[in-house]
Amino acid sequence: MRSPAQNAQLALLLEVTGTPKPGNVDRTHEYDELRFEQFVAGAVSAMGGLRLAQNGGAVGRSFERSVVGMANQSGGNTQFGALLLVVPLVCTTARDTTRKLTPERVTETVTSTTVEDAVDFYRAFEHVQVAVADPPDDLDALDVRRGAAAESAIRARERTLYDIMALSVPGDLVAREWTTGFEDAFRVADSLAELSGPVADRAATTYLELLAERPDSFVETKHDEETAIDVMERAQAASNGEIDPEQLADELISAGINPGATADIIAAGLYIALERGLSV
């Protein structure tokens, strides 16, 4: 039987293995500066932080240690957002000997995070470059891109990690998961269980379905709202069989359009499904 940390690592590996996953790196699609092998290396190297989460480590510290490990490859940021979802799931699993994951238990984990967790989260930005939206002027002191330099502002305002995530809702889909009991991740897990065939193929199918539901926030951050909506509509066409998903994957890769938030949620859903007994 795999440990929670092993299932978390496997979830990261299965996510990047699924293909086609339009716009994202997978086993047959990659960018010149960001390759499949780097995602594999990131998943392997994140294991120290995942084990820390499994062994009762705090969410923020476990996340920061996972990011430090993930960054131990030449591609930079490969799974920052995925780890931000998977780590609290592992922490939730570790709290209960039955290893039963529910939205209520995950919500209890994230809402009980502390100011220290928030400080460690900000420190994670010291290790890799992450594309994030500009904060409102009144929250400039809490801009995550300040990294450790924001510690005094976090402590002065007594912001927990959950508070920080809530500030990014509704614009950030990963942050939204924190405030909705990981709603989409649990839906992904249900979809993975209902489908048949290789798990990586199920993940790719579910990815396309999720991308077709709403604009990807990472695309909107890196490009604009119009581009994110266009990608969603093209994903709908691919899901309906109107266009070839492989063609869409090639086009998005060529255009440098990466729906990374959707991929992050797929990784979280894979972890939940594996913990529920999904066979690989």
Judged against a pLDDT cut of 90, whether residue 136 lies above it is answered with: no
118 occurs within a structural domain: yes
pLDDT tens by residue, 145-193: 999 999 999 999 999 999 999 999 988 999 999 999 999 999 999 999 9
Least Cα distance to 19 among 254, 206, 257 occurs for 206
280 occurs within a structural domain: no
Reduced to 3 states, what is the DSSP secondary structure of residue 26?
A: strand
Mean per-residue pLDDT of the chain: 96
Range of the domain at 167: 4-275
Domain count, the chain: 1
Report field, pTM of the whole predicted structure over 0.95: yes
Instruction: Please give the structure tokens belonging to residue 191.
Output: 């979809």
% residues pLDDT > 90 (the chain): 94
**Please, where are the H alpha helices in the chain?**
4-17, 36-45, 47-54, 59-70, 80-94, 103-111, 115-124, 151-157, 161-167, 173-179, 183-194, 199-211, 217-222, 225-239, 245-255, 260-275
Q: What is the mean pLDDT of residues 229-255?
A: 96
Judged against a pLDDT cut of 90, whether residue 243 lies above it is answered with: yes
Q: What is the mean pLDDT of residues 74-101?
A: 94
Q: What is the mean pLDDT of residues 108-120?
A: 98
Do 183 and 229 meet the contact criterion of CB atoms below 8 Å apart? no
248 occurs within a structural domain: yes
137 occurs within a structural domain: yes
CATH number of the domain encompassing residue 93: 1.10.4200.10
Give the pLDDT score at 40: 98
207 occurs within a structural domain: yes
57 occurs within a structural domain: yes
232 occurs within a structural domain: yes
Confidence of residue 98 (pLDDT cuts 50, 70, 90): confident
pLDDT tens by residue, 257-277: 999 999 999 999 999 999 999
210 occurs within a structural domain: yes
